[in-house]
Amino acid sequence: MIGVLVSGNGSNLQALLDAGLPVRAVASNRKDAYALMRARRAGVPTATFSLDCHTDREERDLVMATWLEEHGVELVVLAGYMHLLTKPFLDRFPDRIVNVHPSLLPEFPGAHAIEDALAADVATTGVTIHLVDDGLDTGPILRQEELPLEPRETLEERIHAVEHRLLPTVVREMMVTS
């Protein structure tokens, strides 16, 4: 069973749902994330774990991990989740947390990967699917796909199209091998 962490639009969550993958719980750090609407529309339980409601990040992550486990989650997908995860969460799902990132890591980690690639004017960028550790977009790489930067006007759209194809593919493979 899959749990998805989100902070924003949730188009990658939508791709997982559309692919028919067993998403059983969706958690967010922001109650206004549009991704939560997508989950509710699909009948998937949602919850918000805001930092404001907890003494620190570790406590929040512990409570969030417990909620996911209570929903039968064995594999966690970060789909536009904008907080780093702390040890109490990582220890609950060893090698079972996967992230989608819009660059060819280790190039352009962080929250502005597409803008950073455009600013650096590289010839090629792409999409990375990787396991999550306690660093910023640093875990072992599972899959990458390259894209030419040009035409710049459509880069974001092309990156998202690759994400929406690659993420469900890799997640499905991980479920088969679990």
Judged by CB under 6 A, the stretch of 44-52, 95-103, 115-123, 145-153 that binds ligand GRF is 95-103
Q: Which is nearer to ligand GRF, 62 or 128 (CB)?
A: 128
Phi, psi for 163 (deg, rounded to 5): -55, -45
Active-site residue, from 71, 83, 101, 112: 101
Within 97-156, the residues that bind ligand GRF by CB under 6 A are 100-102
CA distances from 151 to 47, 112, 132, 156 (A): 39, 18, 31, 10
SS3 141: strand
Closest distance to ligand GRF from the beta carbon of 173 (Å): 18
Tokens (6 digits) for 56: 């620190």
Tokens (6 digits) for 82: 């904008």
101 is catalytic: yes
Identify the residue among 4, 12, 17, 147 touching ligand GRF (CB under 6 A): 12
Closest distance to ligand GRF from the beta carbon of 55 (Å): 27
Q: Does the footprint of ligand GRF cover residue 25 (CB under 6 A)?
A: no
Give the count of beta carbons closer than 10 Å to the beta carbon of residue 136: 10
CA 45 from centroid of its chain's CA atoms = 17
Whole-angstrom distance, CA of residue 72 vs CA of residue 84: 23
Judged by CB under 6 A, the stretch of 4-12, 86-94, 117-125, 139-147 that binds ligand GRF is 4-12
Which residue ranges make up the site for ligand GRF (CB under 6 A)? 8-12, 35, 79-80, 100-102, 163
Instruction: Cite the active site residues.
Output: 101
